[in-house]
Amino acid sequence: MSMQTINISVTDEQKEYVDKLVRKEGFANRSELFRRLIRFIKSNPETIEEPKAVQLSPKAIKRYNKIADEIDSGKAKLFEAKTTKDLMEHLMK
């Protein structure tokens, strides 16, 4: 297998981080790190794909609008979701 060279420009901070990873993870050099990253992305392409938008159901939209109206009118306390799952469960009630 022949190897090709690819040059990339990075900030000083990115270079320092790459060098830290190379030392910490025991790579022989930067190229080994980038080859590992490429192999990982190739086998897990979803790691770099843009997240897909979530379409709320009409019931969830109605619940969201009700919550917003109650907050605006002072009838309800603010709901704080710690995770997306918490928010979705609250909207589905």
* Cα three-residue angle 41-84-57, rounded to 5 degrees: 105
* The pTM of the whole model exceeds 0.85: no
Domain range enclosing 66 = 58-91
Question: What pLDDT digit, counting tens, does each position of 40-83 carry?
Answer: 999 999 889 888 888 889 998 998 898 888 888 988 777 788 89
Tell me whether residue 82 is in a domain.
yes
Tell me whether residue 6 is in a domain.
no
Distance CA 16, CA 38 (A): 20
Tell me whether residue 33 is in a domain.
yes
Tell me whether residue 27 is in a domain.
yes
Tell me whether residue 17 is in a domain.
yes
Tell me whether residue 3 is in a domain.
no
Beta-strand runs (E) in 1-93 = none
Asked if residue 42 and residue 17 are part of one domain, the reply reads: yes
The total number of structural domains in the chain stands at: 2
Which amino acid, 33?
Answer: L
Tell me whether residue 68 is in a domain.
yes
